[in-house]
Chains A and B, each alone.
Chain A
Amino acid sequence: MVEEGVRVVRCGGSRLNFRRAVFSVDSKYIFCVSGDFVKVYSTTTEECVHILHGHTDLVSGILVNPSNHLQLYSCSFDGTIKLWDYVDGILIKTFTIGPKLHAFFIPLHAEDSVFLTISKEEPDIFQLVSVKLPKSTSQDVEARQLTFVLDYINRSPKCIAFGNEGEYVAAVRDFYLSVYFFKKKKTCNFTLPSTKNKKNAKNKFTCVACHPKEDCIASGHMDGKIRLWRNFHSDQKYTYTCLHWHHDMVMDLAFTVTGTSLLSGGRECVLVEWRDGSEKNKEFLPRLGSSIEHISVSPAGDLFCTSHSDNKITVIHRNLDASAVIQGLVKDRSISTGLMVDPRTKALVLNGKPGHLQFYSLQGDKQLYNLDIIQQEYINDEGLTQTELTKAAFGCSGTWLATVEQRQENENELELQMKLWNYSKKTQGFVLNTKIAMPHDDHITALCFNNAESYEKPILVTASRDGHFKVWILTDDSDIYKKAIAWTCDFVGSYHKYQATNCCFSEDGSLLAVSFEEIVTIWDSQTWELKCTFCQRAGKIRHLCFGRLTCSKYLLGTTDNGILCCWNLLSCSIQWSAKLNVRVMEPDPYSDHVAAVAQSSAGSDLFVFKPSEPRPLYIQKNVSREEVQWGVFVPRDVPESFTSETHQWLNRSQFYFLTKSQSLLTFSTKSPEEKLTPTSKQLLAEESLPTTPFSFILGKHRQQQGAKLTETSENELVQLPLTENIPAITELLHTPAHVLPSASFLCSLFVNSLLLSKETKSAEEVPDDVDMEGNKESDDSDEEYDLTEKDKETNNNTDLGEDAIHQLSKSEEKELRKFRKVDYSWLTAL
């Protein structure tokens, strides 16, 4: 078996709110950036229809191709602009620009030039440049001719707007607004008059938007004001009016398509619609959950959408009704619970919305649900001390969940609460079973369940900085009113008055290891007797874990001084130790491998090893430039079968890790090309329908229909040359209306079948409409296509009346062949 190198890949959970979302022209789809990918969601079903893979770094901007509404441009930090066919999820073209691209604009009537934000040599100084995208047939095009437009601009695309059909561009930075007129080649600069005034010191520009029809620029400010600028063609005569409702900064602004209303949003989580640009006429959509970071408007004008700081996109109707929510992995706050895997759903579990635990499906790359742990109203304001969810653990194959929340106003006042949740099969969710106030006198540093199968009674252990570890067991709590079970404290242990820092159970549950600063203590879980201690004098213990399966007799510990120790429990002595500054250590529950992520000056390195041997089986240097904060092994549904020693650790589980900037990464051996194929294989299967249960039913019907069509077409091809007898049409006419797909769908199908040229192209992935003539591919279908083209031409030249029937039958033959092709693709895809 050929084994490829292991690569670090982003595995979803990326920020959806990094840039404004973009609507397709028909408002059926919404596009948003997601790490290195672009995701295509259906606005009605919230399902992800396509993922456009191809960029090698963060995607920093997306726009619908103004000259072809079925195509999408995207630009990325990798220095390329890519053109996609988003309906099929196919990459059409790649333009290589060179420098890191931060933002991307295409004004109307710009004639193939696009505008980009790039950074100059010095860091943090950005300029707006325009580049002409050359017309060429090849897939990869270089376009390095950059024309300078504006200097010293803000890197955020929110701070640049093109106005009034692309006549001018407005850019804001700090206290300045600059407007550049393309025709006059002139820049007007406006400074806020009161910047020096202390009272107005907070009125920095935050965002800008231009009226689509009139010469009007709206700008948002730090102090919550919105200014509408007019008459800005000259430096002196400009005027502006102020709109003020927001109490905190205005995060984004957007004009509706007609320009009659202005939308604004900010930290208040309220979408404000200002009608006719007046302060009196405003509408609100409150309680959107979290701060609004971006606002976008569909070209059809029927939908808005807001991107929120908790990685959520809300689709909103014109009448200010939220209609759909697309929720990504919530990354608003710090992750203190670490990464866990729900044994039941195999979902990734971590801190979510404030006070919530989120369950995130890695396969589907979407949030499954949020579990409200703290169950308190969250007040979104700065400077408030919130109750935080700090620890969580699953026990007994997912039947129990323990959570710890804390609130610390100042050093002496610590509020702690531990909650135990039972999984209820009836409600398919976790139900609060026991609430324990102040389980310890100080911060809880670790908690773990005894997950061994041989123990019927679940046991929970908590370790705390107050120097104790407590054992909690499930006991009968029934009284005359109800039958109940609840958790109570069974044993309190301590060692030499040191702080307890870590705890873990051995694989068979018979031993408990608790670390007290630099000492590891081993306790018998039956009698709670101290069995032995280990102390290596190499600093305080940072992580502690037992080996699994064949390595279950080993105990691993890492210390603050960068030493990894492995103790043999049978001989009660150290087996080996290694110098390694470990940040994350995770054992694979399904194999005897252990993954350790170490921090070095260059970045984070991954080491995979077996506790039985003092050598790493696999090393990957520099998995991330940042510090890796958490990691977890997620079991695979289908085990892989790598044979080599270095790859065997990938067989049963997959290692996911979270870096400091909260990007979720994993290791994969698949090459990007291999990953790409499934999406391009889908081809025209779904056509324009989102994948909903309903569409599957329809799809089945379509498939049958398609099969029939091909059959009949083969039989009756020669005999029936008349237009009325085209089998597709007869079939259509003879099928009862109620079993037919919607007319709009059939129509597009029918038109597609007639538009041979178009079909050929998308099927064969010919790059661009415009470059058709230049295409020299000697493909069968292409020749066919040429023929039909000629036929059509002759058709046009000669009288329609005479040879029409004959000509039609010929072109019809092509059509039907085409049809067959289309049908075939359905069959394969469905």
Chain B
Amino acid sequence: MATLEEEFTLSTGVLGAGPEGFLGVEQTDKADQFLVTDSGRTVVLYKVSDQKPLGSWSVKQGQSITCPAVCNFQTGEYIMVHDHKVLRIWNNDDVNVDKVFKATLSAEVHRIHSVQRTEPLVLFRGGAARGLEALLVEPQQNIESVIPDEEVIVWSEVFMLFKQPVLIFITENHGHYYAYVRLCKSHSLSKYTLLLEKEEKSVKPNFTARVDGKFISLVSLSSDGCIYETLIPIYSSDTEQNQRLVRALMLKSVVSGGVRNGVALTILDQDHIAVLGPPLSASKECLSIWNIKFQTLQTSKELPQGTSGQLWYHGEVLFMLHGKSLTVIPYKCEESSLAGALGKLKHTQESGTHSVPHFVNWETCSGYELGSSGAEQSRTLRRKKVETNLQPEVPGFKQLLSIIKKDSEKHIEVELRKFLAKSTPAFHTIIGDLVAGLVGRCKAEPSFYPRNCLTQLIQTHVLSYSLCPDLMEIALEHTDVQMLQLCLQQFPDIPESTTCACLKLFLSVGDDCLRDSNINMESVFDYSDSTQDEKKEMEEQIEIVQNGFGPEDGNCSEDSQQLNDKPADTAHEPGSFPVTSCPVAPKRAALLNAVLHSAYSEPFLLPHLKDIPAKHVTLFLQYLYFLYLKCTGSATMTLPGVNPPTVSQIMDWICLLLDANFTVLLMIPEAKRLLLILYNFVKSQISIYSELNKIAVSFRELQRLNREKSSRGLYSIEVLELF
């Protein structure tokens, strides 16, 4: 993020800053030292870190500096022009400007541009440009006029591009603006007409530029307060003169429109731009840093004493005139990335006015059939048509939102039911907003909890966790297990942390709370079968588990034998293992089933599972094991009932729980038996599968033989010997 550091002022005792401000602030060959030229007669060299002047030079009374002093980076000398035509060159040791080198030129100078790695470039009012050395050889040389007489240079800049200085300047003529690009080495000059909106011709726009690949990106701040970008090709391929350039909107409403003075802008880096001027809300002037890419205001600083509308950026320092003094603001910026900006505006938008997301039906939009006659008129008509399409199509929606903000639960419910009765194409976006509205009010007023409304909305099947992340949080706060169950069933994108929080709640919630709640029991079959049945089932089930591995099969046998014996004994002791009756109440089972059904990613879930208390983990494991036994009890490996948990879901959760809490479980005496059973069970499974694999191979071979035979189209008698 970009930051503006503490500002400080440079003493302006020697400087006479007029109302227009300074002529310029320029870099020197030494870092931290800057040449400040005031609009009168003085040039001061400042060392910024010390905040003090190192030297100052003035021209004689009657003379006036017309062009800001610059530093020749190749020689370290300072150059300035006074009285339009008189060039002065001096260095640090010189005291009196009158005694230094003087050259009178034949034409009026507009500016001297000096950049690193090249000689200074003198730009004349007529648009011609000369290198300083060439000019000094023959100061009185004839300077041609490049631009028409009526055009006046309003802004100019020099860039180094592939070791070649590129000069760009903008001229104005009765509200028309033209850009010229001069390649100094190849002496080519291209002229472009800048196309501005009509109403802007009266006000002078502000310009700044940077090089962007093969283009110069000319950024201008217009009187409507918006920043526009114009791309000017550096190497013009078209020989045609006077090409027109279109500008594109870059930033909207940066400063309030209609402000004529005190507005300036400068590009800081690839993504950031500094703007000086009053922002929309405040009338006070402000220095603000905007991120172009994300169109966001990064930081801003109020300047209560007003500015001159001049802004310079050198190195990492911003210069401006604040009140009567030259203010320096160091600026720092990290490289911005979308990842860094992600979600940064989340809370500001929620707290502010809740904007309605647009829903548009583009399929009804009419095409642009551009005809030649009356194109303009019809185009505006068509735009109107499109605009009308943009309006949210539900008239009652806004009313409903305001009702949600104020009215009683009852009233909201009635209105909501009315609203849901008529479905519209914009349904899904609107539902999201309604829930956001309700949840927002819930957060603000702890007593407000419109469960019926929320349930109704969830049941429209268009909500997801991402759309209303706070909904489940509130339900968790209210320990509304019914709502949570519904959410778990409906939302495909619940984060694992929330799933886990639900699980914790379901395991810990009191029985009395469960009794009152109206829980969907679809996924739970009738667990309250007579114990007799259970036992019978249990016995059958054991046989099935046995199937596939012989009792005489190695070391497994003892354990399994144990297993076979134990249930009969322990079945009579409630609360011990293995489980023959459901370890949890049916309502709780229904809730846990909802958790089992919900989607999750293992790596995200594991860390959260560790937080579940050991007591609850064992309970949940018991329940899962019970479900598993029920599953294997049926031939189809499914549980009875509507939409029950599947075997793989049960197995996955057993594995996850064990993975997450294995060390803890090892320590708990109650869990020991369960672990042992599971261990044996896994062992037996492995042997079953290995046997099955063997059979599968031989069956495949048989199948292959069969296929070969049948493909011949002949009859045959075959004897298949399996063993």
Contact = CB atoms under 8 A, between A and B. Distances in A.
Contact of A616 (B195, B365, B466): B365
Interface string A554-581: 0000000011100011111111111111
Contacts of A143: none
B707 to A, nearest CB: 13
A534 B360 CA distance: 19
A648 B338 contact: no
A614 B341 contact: no
Given A576-B358, A579-B362, A643 B246 contact: yes
Nearest to B389: A615
Interface in A533-547: 533-538
A5 interface: yes
A615 B243 contact: no
Majority-rule SS of A interface residues: loop
A524 B343 CA distance: 13
A550 B293 contact: yes
B337 interface: yes
B617 to A, nearest CB: 22
B366 A571 contact: no
A656 interface: no
Contacts of B357: 573-577
A618 B360 contact: no
Interface string B360-387: 1111011111111000000100000011
Interface stretch (A214-222, A310-318, A505-513): A505-513
Interface residues of B, number: 69
Given A454-B335, A522-B342, A572-B346, A537 B600 contact: no
A190 interface: no
Contacts of B464: 519, 535-537
A598 interface: yes
A659 B279 CA distance: 50
Interface in A464-504: 494-498
A299 B290 CA distance: 73
Nearest to B236: A638
Interface in B389-435: 389-390, 425, 428-429, 432
B238 A535 contact: no
A114 interface: no
A569 B428 contact: no
Contacts of B390: 614-615
B493 A570 contact: no
A511 B339 contact: yes
A535 B360 contact: no
A729 interface: no
A1 to B, nearest CB: 7
Interface string A1-42: 101111000000000000000000000000000000000000
B237 A638 contact: yes
B344 interface: yes
Most buried by B among A4, A533, A537: A537
B396 to A, nearest CB: 19
Determine the interface band of chain A, counting residues with CB < 8 A from chain B.
35 or more
A569 B341 contact: yes
A155 B461 CA distance: 54
A638 B367 CA distance: 28
Which of B362, B371, B429 gathers most chain A CB within 10 Å? B362
Given A496-B601, A577-B429, A519 B493 contact: yes
Nearest to A494: B601
B709 interface: no
Interface string B584-602: 0000000000000001110
A563 B360 contact: no
Contacts of B449: none
B292 interface: yes
Contacts of A518: 492
A110 interface: no
A646 interface: yes
B245 A615 contact: no
B245 A580 contact: no
Interface string A568-599: 11111111111111000000000000000010
A616 B362 contact: yes
Interface in B286-302: 292-296
A324 interface: no
A574 B137 CA distance: 66
A496 B498 CA distance: 14
A581 B363 contact: yes
Contact of B599 (A498, A506, A607, A642): A498
A732 interface: no
B429 A574 contact: yes
B601 A497 contact: yes
Given A532-B343, A535-B464, A600 B246 contact: no
B425 A579 contact: yes
A578 B361 CA distance: 5
B370 A6 contact: yes
A506 B359 CA distance: 24
A549 interface: yes
A497 B342 contact: no
Contact of B465 (A535, A570, A620, A622): A535
A616 B382 CA distance: 12
Contact of B367 (A510, A525, A533, A605): A605
Interface in A620-665: 620-622, 638-639, 641-643, 646, 648, 651
Nearest to B605: A496
Contacts of B296: 570
A534 B367 CA distance: 31
A202 interface: no
Contacts of A6: 370
B239 interface: no
B297 to A, nearest CB: 12
B463 interface: yes
Given A4-B370, A553-B293, A616-B386, A538 B425 contact: no
B368 A549 contact: no
Interface in B234-275: 237-238, 243-246, 248-250
B467 interface: yes
A224 B23 CA distance: 91
Contacts of A580: 362-363
A141 interface: no
B195 A643 contact: yes
A530 interface: yes
Contacts of B492: 496, 498, 517-519, 535
B61 interface: no
Nearest to A576: B358
A623 B600 CA distance: 44
Nearest to B292: A550
B349 interface: yes
B337 A510 contact: yes
B429 to A, nearest CB: 6
A271 to B, nearest CB: 37
B370 A569 contact: no
Contacts of B293: 508, 549-550, 552-553
22 contacts: A4-B370, A496-B601, A519-B466, A522-B342, A530-B604, A531-B339, A537-B464, A538-B462, A564-B362, A568-B345, A569-B343, A570-B346, A579-B361, A598-B363, A615-B360, A615-B386, A619-B362, A619-B366, A641-B243, A641-B244, A642-B246, A646-B368
Interface of A: 1, 3-6, 454, 494-498, 506-508, 510-511, 517-519, 522, 524-526, 530-538, 549-550, 552-553, 562-564, 568-581, 598, 600, 605, 607, 614-616, 618-622, 638-639, 641-643, 646, 648, 651
Interface of B: 195, 231, 233, 237-238, 243-246, 248-250, 292-296, 335, 337-346, 348-349, 357-363, 365-372, 379, 386-387, 389-390, 425, 428-429, 432, 461-467, 491-493, 495, 599-601, 604
Given A549-B293, A550-B295, A614-B360, 8 more contacts: A530-B604, A532-B343, A537-B467, A569-B341, A573-B349, A577-B358, A614-B358, A619-B366
Which 6 pairs across A and B sit closest by C-beta, in order of nearness?
A: A496-B599, A535-B464, A510-B339, A621-B367, A510-B337, A576-B358
